[in-house]
Structure formats: C-alpha cells, structure tokens
Homo-oligomer: A and B are copies of this chain.
Amino acid sequence: MNSYNIAVIPGDGVGVEVTEATLKVLLAAAEKFGFNLAPTQYEWGCEYYVEHGEMMPADGLSQLKKSDAIYLGAVGWPEKVCDSVSLHGLLLPIRKQFDQFVNMRPHRLLTGTSGPLKKTKFDILCIRENTEGEYSGAGGRVHVGNPHEVAVETSVFTRHGVERLLRFGFEQARQRSGKLASITKSNAQKYSMVFWDEITEELSAEYPDVTVERYHVDAAAARMITHPESFDVIVASNLFGDILSDIGAAIQGGLGFAASANINPSRELPSMFEPVHGSAPDIAGLGKANPVAAVWSGAMMLEHLGETKAAQAIMAALNDVLASPDNCTPDMGGKATTSEVAEAIVKAI
C-alpha cells in the first residue's frame, strides 16, 4: 500500500476549519482507494508568532522537507501580525526555499455554482511564477520619515526562472487546447517584461504546435471578465499571476472556489497545496467558511502524488454535492456549515 507523509499547516483563522474539513475528505478518499495518508500537524502561524516572535521555528523548513507534500490552510491575521511579516515568515519562504516555481490555479464553474458573470462557460488554467519577479523582496527605503523619503522595490527576473515557468506552461498548453496566453506589461516595463516576451518568443520556436497569444496584464484582466471563454492556459509573473488568478476566483463565484498548487516539478522537494483564500478573521471559528477551495486543493495534492483516481472521485463528489442547496455555505447563499459540507463530500465519495 502506498503511503504518503503529509505536512499539514492549518495556519490562521478559517485555515484551521477548512484544513480539518479537507483532511476528513482526503482520509476518506485514501480509505476508499487503498492508500495511506500520514498527516503531521504543525501549529505555525500568527498565534505561534505572538508566543515565539517568529512564524515557524528556525528549523521549520527542514522539518517540512521530509514530507511528501505540504498542505496549508491560510496564513495571516493582520490584527496580530502585520501581513508583510506573517507572509514573509511562512508562506513565501516555503514557496521559494522549496523551489515551488509553479503556482497552478484552475478556474471553472463547478456544477451547481454560478458566478457574477452572465457568461458561464470557461475553463482557465492559470500558471504563475512563484519564486522571483515582483516578489523578490529586494528593495529599501532612504530618508525614512522625511519629505524626501524614497522607497524602491526591485523585481528580479532570471532567464532560469522565466524559462522553466514558460516551459511548464507550454507543456500544459500542449496537453490541453494548444493555446497559451502569455501576460506581460512590456509597454510600460521595458526591462523585466520585454525580457519575458523575448524568452516566450524563443521558446515558441520549440513548441510549433502551441499558439501563443500575448496580452498586457491590464487587457488580460479585462478580457477575463468580458471574454473568459477565450483563455485556456495563462502564464504570468508572480504578481500578474496573483492578480489574474484572483480574477479567475471571482468569476468562479469567489475565493471559496479557488484552489491552488505550488509545485516543484522536479519532485526533489515537497510541493505545497493551499486554497487561494486568506484566513478571513471576520468569520473565523464560526463554521461559515466554504471548504470547496480547500478540498479542491487537496484533490490537486492527491493528483500530484499520483493518486489520480482518488483525486477524480473528490472532484466528482464536489460537483455532485454543490448541486444541492443544502450543501451550500453562506457565501453560496446557503446555511450549511464547513463541516456539514465536508460530511456531504465524504458521503458522495
């Protein structure tokens, strides 16, 4: 029997509830499809910070390193720890240190859900660079607090980083419709984004079967709203992918439906799976959080581990379950609690 060690970081706020819900579903799927999941919980996050002055222990990353995959609920609680500290202390270092350079986010409507758009037919896979670019953390401030103060923040793009991400995108496009949309802002950012465009063009010669479309990020954002059906695979930088995948989430009906995988395709280091939503302190602990994004992220984890049938069964169960208003959380206009939805998914598997 295959067995997988999963490092589980419930994190902050609703992260705790949706992680609990997801674990129920994943364990049920493991039982049904005959493999073993061994979760180890790590109680890291903003509470931990308040006690210890850091988001995770100094050897946190090496503790996680041994796992086959990492599952994360949500990080952040601005009233306790400012976001720029909490994210740079846990989520972002995991993505960067484990070289999870692909952040993959699927955007489509599940059966029974409906988004804010009149149009309902779209199936977008957003592939975002996850280790460099606008999130490099390079910068500083001079003349602090005086009228001449200046803050600089430098985006760093390496050929290594851009090329491997684009290559992953081309491969995905090849497996889907053969259409790849590359997002830049090269009309305004003439160093970083022109560089990205050049590498896209070079690589496209190696993938003659893939049609590349180029959009500026502003136009792409608008087009995801007016013509979402026109996109298939999207490749974008760390920041642009962040923004576009939140637009993807919005047209899916909200962050309660947006799943994500932070992948190191080499598999030498663990990948991490997390819903796109944050910790939502305002509804934390009330059982109101929609667990769909979290469960979907769990299905992506099983898929990554090679348990494709179990992943498919979870996705089928999600589609079944949401068709009934009884299984809808408040954000979907229903009254079900987080754990009731999880129970329904478990039953459907």
Instruction: Tell me whether A187 and B117 are in contact (CB under 8 A).
Output: no
Find A247's partner among B117, B225, B245 (CB 8 Å cutoff).
Answer: B225
Which chain B residue shows the least CB distance to A253? B226
The smallest beta-carbon distance between A147 and chain B, in angstroms, is 6
Is the beta-carbon distance between A148 and B141 smaller than 8 angstroms? no
A150 near B139 with CB under 8 A, answer no
A254 is an interface residue with CB less than 8 A from chain B: yes
Q: Is A250 an interface residue (CB 8 A)?
A: yes
Which B residues are in CB contact (< 8 Å) with A195? 141, 149, 151
Determine whether A255 belongs to the interface, using a CB cutoff of 8 Å to chain B.
yes
A69-87 near B? 1/0 per residue, CB < 8 Å: 0000000100000011011
A149 surroundings in chain B (CB, below 8 A): 158-159, 195
B residues near A239, Cβ cutoff 8 Å = 185, 188
- Whether A88 sits at the interface, judged by CB under 8 Å, is yes
Question: Are A153 and B154 in contact, with the CB atoms below 8 A?
Answer: yes
B247 touches A222 (CB 8 A): yes
Q: Which residues of B contact A222 (CB under 8 A)?
A: 246-247, 249-250, 254-255
Given A147-B160, A225-B116, A193 and B153 touching (CB < 8 A)? yes
Q: Which residues of B contact A218 (CB under 8 A)?
A: 242-243, 245-246
Using a CB-CB cutoff of 8 Å, which residues 185-199 of chain A contact chain B? 185-195
Which residues of A in the span 213-267 have a Cβ within 8 Å of any Cβ on B?
216-219, 221-223, 225-226, 238-239, 242-243, 245-247, 249-251, 254-255
Known: A159-B150, A243-B218. A189 touches B134 (CB 8 A): yes
Within the complex, which residue of B87, B146, B246 is in contact with A219, where a contact is CB–CB below 8 Å? B246
When the two chains form their complex, are residues B151 and A188 in contact, meaning their CB atoms are under 8 A apart? no
Interface centre among A86, A116, A218, A242 (most CB of B within 10 A): A218
Q: List 16 A-B contacts (CB under 8 A).
A: A83-B187, A117-B118, A140-B191, A141-B191, A146-B159, A147-B159, A147-B160, A148-B159, A148-B160, A149-B195, A150-B156, A155-B155, A185-B242, A221-B221, A225-B251, A247-B247
